[in-house]
Structure 1
Amino acid sequence: MTSIARTAPDSARQRSRASRLLRRLPWWIAALLLAGGCFLWIYPFLWTIGASLKTAPEIFSDGLDVIPKSPVWVNYGRAWNDAHFGEYLRNTVIVTVATVIIVVVRSAMAGYVLGRYRFRGRRVVLVVLVATLLVPTGYTIIPVVDIAQRLHLLNSLTGMVIALSGGAHVALTLLYMGYFRRIPTELFESAQLDGAGFLTTFFRIMLPLATPVTASATLLTFLNTWNAFFLPLVFTFSRPDLRTVSVGMLAFSGEYSTDWPGMAAGAAISLAPVIILFFVLQRYFVEGIAGAVKN
């Protein structure tokens, strides 16, 4: 009887343990699937970093192997000095920072007006803005270059900044519009009662409240500008010293051969600022996207 009494609680505990395991099994499967998807997502970046520390024959012989046998740090020196990636990185930082400032301020002001004010033709403006999303970027490059040439802005960083920041940037405007619409009207009215004008209300009250959206807009604009290739290529045809890092990748590709280790090192250098900025702004990025679309 004693052995039977001991067996009953043991079997009950085993059944309870099995039921808990079955309840948790879907989460383990989800975790494994997410881990596998995450690995597939970051593997190209890991392979790029590994390839930047290999020789050209080692890249082709190792195949998908990430870890180099003997790190070749000279690839980074060749990319920085011989391929002039130091100059390209400086140009990219100047163009990106200026473009981000212009685009974020303009998109915030446009979203503020569309989200807080009701005026005649507002729906028409929204329809036109959304319609521009359907226009491919390649269709606008010819008039943009023609206008830049007439204004003597070709082959200059200033012209590149104006061209990159001159688009509609509808997605960012809609993000700000959705966020400003959710701000209580009482706050807006109290600012008017205190005598605050349009610019004072916007820059001192509304824009600080939209910090999460501003972080999201900054990150998205930074990525688009940092990775822009076609327009910077056109604007620097006769001025190679004004190239950005994306266009500077062409320096590793010759007529008969390609410097794959140097190209991988250049790609790793160009990825570093993007990754750092994302880790700094990731919390605000998620809050901004969630807050703008919630209604």
Structure 2
Amino acid sequence: MTTSTRPSIPAPTASATARRTQWRRRLPWWAVVAALGLIALLWIYPFLWMLSASFKSPAEIFAGGLGLLPEQMRWENYARAWTDGNFQRYLLNTAVVTVGTVAIVVVRCALAGYVLGRYRFPGSRIILGILVATLFVPTGYTIIPIVKLSMELGLLDQLSGMILALAGGANVAAILIYAGYFRGLPAELEEAAVVDGAGFLRTFTQVMLPLSMPVTATVAVLTFLFTWNAFFLPLVFSFSNPALRTVSVGMQAFVGENSTDWPGMAAAGVISLIPIVALFAFMQRYFVEGIAGSVKS
């Protein structure tokens, strides 16, 4: 009498069990990644749509809805924005104004932050309170005295006047970032500089300022973004001289009385965003380090 033998089913190995357990543990992580990816797509979709619209015709923009793929790549939109829209001049004006504003703001805020962060003197808390209070003052309330001062100095129709107007704000965030960073540096650095015979300016320029490069990068990026996208003050300063327009004000050149050149405006918008994206990609690491260092301090 013979007995039939059934094939034995191998028990799951330890490695397979470990892989299943690891997959179950990573499932919430993959869900978070998928959710963040969807949010990121929704966040950058307007930029993708603008990039797509810069290659379309006006009829295709309105007929295509939310579609991103143009029927034909119309590079002439960029040529029209660059030459007919005079964006080659507006881009140069914006670069000059932005670089000048960033330089003034970095030097001024670094000095103010160094003094407020490292020194205690009568009235220092009052000064900080006044600086914070200026955050609640609307921009429209300060435009009249700014224009009046610029007219008295003969700077209303010049790029230098626009630079001074944009750089003359309180810049409270930049000052507080510098103050928080300098406050966290060890006092031995200043003591060693004093022993070597360094005064206030030499200690600041040769010791403290080089150590604050991450914060300086952060302030430079924030000021660059603010100045590059500024609209109100450049609009006022370029009323009587359209040649002084910046890229944000120059967008109005595509708006006519009876129609709007939407493809040209989209192409001009893409052109104006390229320097910002390039700068942030280059200084992203320093920007994050500066924010982290100032908050930690």
TM-score by length of 1: 0.96
Which has the larger displacement, 178-187 or 133-142? 133-142
Deviation per residue, 1:86-108 (Å, 9 max, x gap): 00001000000000000011000
Deviation per residue, 1:2-27 (Å, 9 max, x gap): 955x43335x6665443322211110
Match of 2:271 among 252, 269, 272: 269
Tell me the equivalent position of 1:172.
174
> Secondary structure of the equivalent of 2:10?
helix
Identical aligned residues as a percent = 60
Tell me the equivalent position of 1:21.
23
How far residue 35 of structure 1 moved from its aligned partner, in angstroms, is: 0.8
CA distance in 2, matches of 1:90, 1:251: 16
Moved over 3 A (4+): 1-4, 12-18
Tell me the equivalent position of 2:88.
86
Larger Rg: 2
Deviation per residue, 1:196-241 (Å, 9 max, x gap): 1111111111111000000000000000000000110011101001
Query: Partner amino acid for 1:106?
Result: R
Q: Does 2:115 align with 1:113?
A: yes
How far residue 155 of structure 1 moved from its aligned partner, in angstroms, is: 1.6
Equivalent residue runs for 1:36-115 within 5 Å? 36-115=38-117
Consecutive unaligned residues of structure 1, counting only runs of 5 or more, are none
CA distance in 2, matches of 1:132, 1:2: 85
Query: Partner amino acid for 1:162?
Result: L
Tell me the equivalent position of 2:138.
136
How far residue 143 of structure 1 moved from its aligned partner, in angstroms, is: 1.4
Equivalent residue runs for 1:145-184 within 5 Å? 145-184=147-186
CA distance in 2, matches of 1:284, 1:97: 18
Query: Partner amino acid for 1:7?
Result: P
CA distance in 2, matches of 1:153, 1:128: 28
CA distance in 2, matches of 1:160, 1:130: 24
Query: Partner amino acid for 2:42?
Result: L
Deviation per residue, 1:263-285 (Å, 9 max, x gap): 00000010000000000100000
Consecutive unaligned residues of structure 2, counting only runs of 5 or more, are none
Which has the larger displacement, 278-287 or 132-141? 132-141
Which has the larger displacement, 279-288 or 50-59? 50-59
* Superposition CA RMSD, Å: 1.4
CA distance in 2, matches of 1:26, 1:111: 44
